[in-house]
Amino acid sequence: MTADQKVRPWPAGMSGPAKKEGGAAAFRLLEHTADMGIEAQAASCEELFVQAAKGLLVVLAGGGETRCPVQDVTLEVRAGDVEELLVVWLNELLYLIQTKGMWPQNIELVDMRSDHLEAKLLMAPLTGQPQREVKAATYHHLMVSCRQGFWRARVYLDL
């Protein structure tokens, strides 16, 4: 970690049980000069990707105000490996939010492999603009790892 990076402690209320295999899943935001990072952890790779998506939502709007009605959206992404898949996944969510004006109310991964992800999203229209502009998820300091059955990821967002 460089001197210009600040790591926020794991915040209360940001962790909870992982959906599939139990354990604590969480994310925290990492500050960087012109970027902001998300560090996520979970008991499964699927829940890790959900936690990273929740981190992106907090960076964008801290919650996001929406109005009904909601609609089901299937999002399918492909990549060369699991790290690239994380970047592509977050960028596709960002695209839905920023260009379609839709906000995820629920995220469920229905199929995931190291090079493919399919998610069912419950989306609602945004009532305004996100509070912060995120240009893209980047490959800067990108990391996805599994040690002793516990998954961790770090990805930085270009603000």
Query: 36-73: per-residue pLDDT in tens?
Result: 899 999 999 999 999 999 999 988 875 555 667 789 99
pLDDT for the residue numbered 65: 57
Single-letter amino acid code for the residue at 114? S
| Residue 99 pLDDT greater than 80, yes or no | yes
Question: What region, left, alpha or beta, does residue 64 occupy, with left being phi > 0 and alpha being psi -120 to 50 degrees?
Answer: left
CA 108 – CA 104 distance, rounded (Å)? 10
* Residue 135 covered by a domain: yes
- Give Cβ neighbours of residue 85 (< 8 Å, ≥ 6 apart): 49, 77, 78, 79, 114, 115, 116, 117
Residue 36 corresponds to which tokens in the numbers above?
């902001």
What number of CA atoms fall less than 13 Å from residue 94's CA on the CB side? 21
* Residue 152 covered by a domain: yes
Q: Are 10 and 28 in contact (CB under 8 A)?
A: yes
* Residue 1 covered by a domain: no
* Residue 76 covered by a domain: yes
How many structural domains compose the chain? 1
This prediction's pTM: 0.77
Can you give the CATH number for the domain in which 75 is found? 3.55.10.10
Q: How many residues does the chain have?
A: 159
Residue 37 corresponds to which tokens in the numbers above?
């990072």
Single-letter amino acid code for the residue at 146? C
Query: 129-145: per-residue pLDDT in tens?
Result: 778 889 999 999 999 99
* Residue 44 covered by a domain: yes
* Residue 62 covered by a domain: yes
Closest CA to 96 of 114, 77, 78, 79: 77
Q: Are 117 and 77 in contact (CB under 8 A)?
A: yes
CA 106 – CA 139 distance, rounded (Å)? 26
* Residue 99 covered by a domain: yes
Q: Are 38 and 155 in contact (CB under 8 A)?
A: yes
Domain that holds residue 17: 6-158
* Residue 21 covered by a domain: yes
Greater model confidence, 43 or 20: 43
Query: 102-127: per-residue pLDDT in tens?
Result: 889 899 999 999 999 999 999 988 87
